[in-house]
Amino acid sequence: MLKSELVAHLANRNPKIREFLVKKGVDDIINRMIEALLDEKGRIELRGFGSLSCRYYGPRRAHNPRSGEFLTAAACAKPHFKAGRILKARIINAPIIEDNLDSV
Amino acid sequence: MPTSSDNFMQTLTKADLITTVETTIAIENHLARSLVEDFFEIIAATLEQGEEVKLSGFGNFTLLKKKERLARNPKTGAKALVSARTVVSFRASPTLKRRFEELAHRMHDQALKKPPIKKPAKELAIT
């Protein structure tokens, strides 16, 4: 499912909100979440869904396995999603549809 | 092990998202609430049906199949069989990844006094 399809679904379920506002609302939700993850170095907790947090990994010594040469791998940060208990339980028996793998 | 250079954390909740939507698109509170709740409900329901959710500019919620495996209860050491299951994972989009990289550099600059040394991961970001 792509963002556009999500917007269409949402608009269907919320007929009182005009579609262009639904679209803007979705973008605002996403942007607010990105902002929270990045600028406040914070967490997002969504009851029943899960939580997103920012994980920071400091720089580390790495080496090129072919040449044996030592390098310093830069610090990196990654967003991490942890599914909530309810979502996990809902997904546990989900089949996996491979059909939209190439649709992006 | 993830570390945060900063102990001060703020948690964004559904209530914050509702307030955001309520003000940015100027709709009544109960409509904003239903929009935000449906947003996550539709994502969850789509995943439940086995379809992945791709939000451009943010990331993809993908499904992974896990095989049955033997695990141990870390407290008692007792073996337990974990059944085969489907789990969700989140992959950040390239744009979000880039912004996280910039954040890592900023956090590193702040934490320069004590750079932690980590085990090499599979994918190396080598500068």
- Sketch the domain layout of chain A as residue ranges: 3-91
Interface test with A, best of B35, B38, B40, B113 (most A CBs within 10 A): B35
Report how far residue B118's alpha carbon sits from residue B102's, in angstroms, rounded to the nearest whole number.
19
Residue B74 lies in a domain: no
Q: Is the pLDDT of residue B90 over 80?
A: yes
Residue B3 lies in a domain: no
Residue B79 lies in a domain: no
Cβ contact A6:B55 at 8 Å: yes
Q: Which residues contact B72 (CB under 8 A, 6 or more apart)?
A: B78, B79, B80
**How many folded domains does chain B comprise?**
1
Domain that holds residue B21: 12-51
Instruction: Give me the total of CB pairs closer than 8 Å, taking one residue from chain A and one from chain B.
Output: 236
Section A2-30 average pLDDT: 92
pLDDT given at position A59:
84
Residue B47 lies in a domain: yes
Place of tokens 């995943």: B47
Going by C-alpha positions, the residue among A39, A100, A63, A68 that lies closest to residue B6 is A39
* ipTM for the assembly: 0.83
Report how far residue B23's alpha carbon sits from residue A36's, in angstroms, rounded to the nearest whole number.
17
Q: Is the pLDDT of residue A103 over 80?
A: no
Report how far residue A26's alpha carbon sits from residue A85's, in angstroms, rounded to the nearest whole number.
24
pLDDT digit string (tens) for A40-92? 557 899 998 999 998 888 888 888 888 888 888 888 888 999 999 999 999 99
Q: In what order do the strands lie in the sheet with A50-57?
A: A76-83, A50-57, A43-46, B11-13
Q: Which residues contact A75 (CB under 8 A, 6 or more apart)?
A: A56, A57, A58, A59, B104, B105, B107, B108, B115
Percentage of chain B lying above the pLDDT 90 cut = 54
Residue of B nearest to A4 (CA): B55
Cβ contact A44:A34 at 8 Å: no
Nearest to A49 among B40, B105, B119 (CB): B40
- Residue of A39 and A33 predicted with greater confidence: A33
Contact list in B for residue A16 (CB cut-off 8 A) is 31
Q: Is the pLDDT of residue A104 over 50?
A: no
Interface test with A, best of B30, B55, B67, B83 (most A CBs within 10 A): B55
Section B78-107 average pLDDT: 90
Q: What are phi and psi of A3, to 5 degrees?
A: -60, -40
Percentage of chain B lying above the pLDDT 70 cut = 80
Place of tokens 């570390």: B3
Contact A1 B52 (CB under 8 A): yes
pLDDT digit string (tens) for A34-53? 989 887 557 899 998 999 99
pLDDT band at B2 (very low <50, low <70, confident <90, very high): very low
What would the CATH number be for the domain defined by A3-91? 4.10.520.10
Residue B24 lies in a domain: yes
Residue B18 lies in a domain: yes
